[in-house]
Amino acid sequence: MKVHVADHPLISHKLTVLRDEKTDSPTFRRLVEELVTLLAYEATRDVRTKTVTVQTPVTQTQGFKMAEPRPVVVPILRAGLGMLEGMSRLIPTAEVGFLGMVRDEKTLKASTYANRLPDDLSGRQCFVLDPMLATGGTLISAINYLIDKGANDITAICILAAPEGIANMEQAFENSRVPITIVTGALDTKLNEFGYIVPGLGDAGDRLYGVV
């Protein structure tokens, strides 16, 4: 498994404003979109392309276009939805599938409550959107679900990650035949006893959409 911690002053700046408890929901949502576009730029470095010929006003030349089948972007509901706009801005032609996962706050275990994905993901590159990689339970379940459907290259884009979650992911996908990459805006210090990332930014879903 590859882990890429994006190291860019603009990302650090936007993350710092996101972490601030005084940042309101509209600002938080806009910053998440902007951050995801920046993270997606890193995450799509190995997106598959094909060689094409293009006629410029001057001459004919070789270039690249995104290959078929198109990548699949999978936001994990609910908080991952706040990342979709930022991702779509960079790859507007990607197909979008949805995965609803919920975390039991006592056991911290994740389970699927909804999905809207192509039945067959054979040969597809998938980009999973989940803002907070805490224990990794949700992402591990989601990625296994995509592998079962045939996905053969998976990148998770997270705003923040905890070392515990990265370690659990490393263990879960140690012998995976499918390459897994995590791209995160920062690697934080730890998880607290409630499963929150420290220093973190609180509950990403609540801060995006308000408490329900």
Q: How far is CA 134 from the centre of its chain?
A: 13
Query: Which lies closer to ligand URA via its Cβ, residue 88 or residue 135?
Result: 135
Q: Please provide residue 207's backbone torsions phi and psi, each rounded to the nearest 5 degrees.
A: -75, -30
| 13 CB-near residues (< 8 Å, 6+ apart) | none
Query: Which lies closer to ligand URA via its Cβ, residue 97 or residue 136?
Result: 136
Beta carbon of residue 149, minimum distance to ligand URA (angstroms, whole number): 25
Piece in contact with ligand URA (CB under 6 A), picked from 8-16, 84-92, 142-150, 196-204: 196-204
Query: Which lies closer to ligand URA via its Cβ, residue 126 or residue 197?
Result: 197
Residue 200 touches ligand URA, criterion: CB under 6 A: yes
Query: Which lies closer to ligand URA via its Cβ, residue 73 or residue 160?
Result: 160
Residue 209 touches ligand URA, criterion: CB under 6 A: no
Residue 204 touches ligand URA, criterion: CB under 6 A: yes
Beta carbon of residue 13, minimum distance to ligand URA (angstroms, whole number): 20
Query: Tokens 């999905």 sit at which residue?
Result: 115
Contact with ligand URA (CB under 6 A) among 6, 15, 132, 156: 132
Contact with ligand URA (CB under 6 A) among 34, 66, 115, 196: 196
Residue 98 touches ligand URA, criterion: CB under 6 A: no
Piece in contact with ligand URA (CB under 6 A), picked from 2-10, 33-41, 93-101, 198-206: 198-206
Query: Site residues (CB under 6 A) for ligand URA?
Result: 132, 134, 195-197, 200, 203-205
